[in-house]
Amino acid sequence: MFSIAMAASLLFTPADAHLAYETAKGIVDDCTPRDAGTYRTRRAARRIFDKASAAGIDAKMDTFEAITPIGPRRFVNVEGRYVSSHDNDWVVLVSHYDTKPGTDCPGANDGASTSGLLVALADALTTHRPKDINVLMIWTDGEECMERYGHNDGLWGSRHAAEKIKKEGLRVRAVVCLDMLGDADLGIVVPRNGTGWLAQLALDAGAAVRPGLVAAGHELVADDHLPFLEEGFDAIDLIDFQYGGGPGRNDYWHTAQDTMDKISEESLLLSGRMVAELLNRLAKRKP
């Protein structure tokens, strides 16, 4: 008889990948399009809130107003908190759920896939209850810009969240943004504009799941991690930015072709396992 003292670590299973897929499908079926500042994003937010709550996470809706190129609009982020101990540091996971304004893009991969993934991660967290880390999940509204990324166009939800977390004084170890990670033809990249040590940890976590799963990107990407970097947090984006019918094409991106048949449970399983592994490594990493 022997016992091994081991902190519970986070696992992400095929059942979790199924939950991620079904949640993404519900968002797409019921809330397409999801232009920021419309009743449809609020409807999607309500659906995400219900799913996150059902997963056993302490969820809430965070409604705020912001200026856009077409005047003030109302946005809504959804927040979910997994707390293992009030003494522990936080990891912030972010996924936007809105779709590109003025398009007929259903956003199956761009918005819904990682929003479903975050719900499934919430479920995995409450099931496995890792002890050494707290996790704040934020489903952001208004990631997509209306005309061109700028101070009053795009990244509204993440800017609001970054300022709020800074004000709240949460001890944040890392911010990880997830975008377009359900692509059936999966190739995850960590863009160059992110925090170095965190990017390396994501590369290692990806390699532990499948060699080459996450690659170092050479491009700069405008995504929800930017406002967190600007507020001084350590942050990265994890994104699959090759999304089309052939190599070098990106024709499913922001078009009517971004539909559920382009994403897969297998990819969501790989992405979910990679994020779980990254969280386990972040939990072990003492600041």
Q: Please report, as ranges, the residues that interact with Zn ion according to CB under 5 A.
A: 110
> For residue 47, what are the CA distances in angstroms to 5, 193, 198, 256, 265?
39, 32, 31, 22, 20
- Give least dist CB 139 to Zn ion, A: 15
Comparing CB distances to Zn ion, the nearer of 145 and 172 is: 145
Q: What is the DSSP string of 31-79?
A: S-S--TTSHHHHHHHHHHHHHHHHTT-EEEEEEEEEEETTEEEEEEEEE
- Give least dist CB 143 to Zn ion, A: 7
- Give least dist CB 194 to Zn ion, A: 18
- Give least dist CB 105 to Zn ion, A: 8
- Give least dist CB 98 to Zn ion, A: 9
Amino acid at 178: L
- Is residue 237 within a helix (H) or strand (E), and if so which, with residue range? strand 235-239
Distance CA 223, CA 236 (A): 9
Beta bridge partners of 96: 140
Comparing CB distances to Zn ion, the nearer of 81 and 254 is: 254
Buried-exposed string 115-131: b where 16+ CB fall within 10 A, e elsewhere? bbbbbbbbbbbeebebe
Comparing CB distances to Zn ion, the nearer of 12 and 75 is: 75
Comparing CB distances to Zn ion, the nearer of 110 and 265 is: 110
- Give least dist CB 61 to Zn ion, A: 22
Answer yes or no: are the C-beta atoms of 100 and 143 closer than 8 Å. no
Among all residues, whose Cβ is closest to Zn ion? 110
Comparing CB distances to Zn ion, the nearer of 110 and 231 is: 110
Comparing CB distances to Zn ion, the nearer of 110 and 277 is: 110
Comparing CB distances to Zn ion, the nearer of 170 and 184 is: 184
Token pair belonging to 93 = 């996971």
- Give least dist CB 97 to Zn ion, A: 11
Comparing CB distances to Zn ion, the nearer of 62 and 98 is: 98
Q: Can you tell me which residue has the tokens 């208004």?
A: 142
- Give least dist CB 276 to Zn ion, A: 25
Cis peptide preceding 227, ω within 30 of 0: no
Q: What is the DSSP string of 148-200?
A: S-BTTBS-HHHHHHHHHHHHHT--EEEEEEEESTTBSS--EEE-SSS-HHHHH
